[in-house]
Structure 1
Amino acid sequence: MVTVRRAGMEDLPALNHLETVCFSLPWSDNTLREMLESPLDTVWAAVTPNRRTAAYLDYREVAGEGELMRVCVDPAFRGRHFGRMMVETMLREAKRRGVTAVTLEVRASNAPALRLYENCGFRREAVRKDYYDSPKEDAIIMWRREG
């Protein structure tokens, strides 16, 4: 049984590992530290029974709106619904806190992520041309609005 829990500074090595295996431009150790220390961010980790961090999610809340900043699922654990588990945890927490709108950006070519977000109620609303590097690519801006 996988446990989803709040991540802390003790999770930094695992988050660094996930960044390097998931992204062409991983966040730096310093960026991850700032994320974990930020009062605006909530970070969750999905941990397996043998204490391996399979996924993490960073959510930021500013002025009553939420932004899904990052979802990382270890390639060894993809296809097991960890991403959905993380997004649903974030959405429940956002709703509990009274947040009615959550946004995110995703690479235009990331079909599995687009499918996940659409299945979780997010809708495509805009495109940021050439937003990503390595490789250069558009970002799809998605929103999930309630009420």
Structure 2
Amino acid sequence: MEIRDLTPEDAGRLAAMFARLSDLDMTLIRENVHDRPTVDRMAAESSLRWIAVDGDRAVGWAAVHRLPGWSDHVGELRIVVDPGERGAGIGRSLTQQALRVGFGEGLTKVVIELSTDQEPVIEMFASLGFNGEALLRDHIRDREGRLHDLIVLAHHVQDGLGTLDAIGIADALA
């Protein structure tokens, strides 16, 4: 598996991966990733976007969106891993890349929003130094109309060596 910057040439791979997502997965993604022009625009955005590829297949995607105005020091992480590849460390690797580059671009805080039903994913983010910041009850409505709680996790660059270890560069500094 290779993680690299996303390019417009990756749009087809990305669309094929997004086509494999479940209805629940789609509930948790803001963009309409089943719409090819939307995927083409996502692939054309030039910064803070990555793709994980295995051979010619996309197996993961991540983006950090810098928030506007008074929150421009904060980036919102969005990440998707192919359903057939989950549990193999792709999400962890994409998150480490997003933190490494995002903090290098001047962000001091990265946040992610998750459904509280995603316990293994929440545990993975916690192991990388993310902490809970907010719980929004009944904030997500799935396609069947069921309500789910949303948790906001955050990672702060000033957390020092823990941050360096989480993004995989602490050993390089030792």
- State the TM-score, normalizing by the size of structure 1: 0.85
Provide structure 1 residue ranges, at least 5 long, that are not aligned to the other structure.
none
The equivalent of 2:49 in structure 1 is 43
- Identity, % of aligned pairs? 25
1:32 is displaced (CA, Å) by 3.0
Q: Matched residue of 1:67: which SS?
A: strand
What is the alpha-carbon distance in structure 1 between the residues aligned to residue 147 and residue 10 of structure 2? Answer: 30
Q: Deviations over 1:40-60 (max 9, x none)?
A: x52201111x22111111211
1:136 corresponds to which of 108, 130, 147: 147
CA contact (8 A) 2:64 2:76 kept: yes
Unaligned runs of 5+ residues in structure 2 are: 159-174
The amino acid that maps onto 1:14 is R
Find the counterpart in structure 1 of residue 16 from structure 2.
17
Q: Is the 8 A contact 1:36 1:42 kept in 2?
A: no
- Structure having the larger proportion of residues in strand: 1
What is the Cα-based RMSD across aligned positions, in Å?
1.9
| Alpha-carbon distance, 1:121 to partner | 0.7
Of 40, 63, 70 in structure 2, the residue corresponding to residue 33 of structure 1 is: 40
Q: CA deviation at 1:17?
A: 2.9
Name the structure where helix makes up a greater proportion of residues: 2
Q: Deviations over 1:91-143 (max 9, x none)?
A: 00012112111111001100121011111111011112222221421110111
Render the CA deviation track for 1:71-104: whole Å, top value 9, x for unaligned: 1111221221000000000000012112111111
User: Do structure 1's residue 92 and structure 2's residue 103 form an aligned pair?
Assistant: no
Q: Which residue of 2 aligns with 1:145?
A: 156
**Cα distance, 1:38 vs structure 2:** 4.2
CA contact (8 A) 1:6 1:43 kept: yes
> What letter matches 2:74 in structure 1?
E
Write the distance in 1 (CA, Å) between the matches of 2:40 and 2:94. Answer: 20
Equivalent pairs counted in the alignment come to: 143
Q: 61, 72, 81: which is aligned to 2:80? A: 72
Task: Give the distance between the partners of 1:34 and 1:138, measured in 2 at CA.
Answer: 30
Residue 146 of structure 1, CA deviation: 2.5
Distance in structure 2 (CA, Å) of the matches to 1:3 and 1:38: 20
Q: Distance in 2 between matches of 1:130 and 1:31?
A: 28
TM-score, normalising length: structure 2 = 0.73
- What secondary structure sits across from 1:58 in the alignment? strand
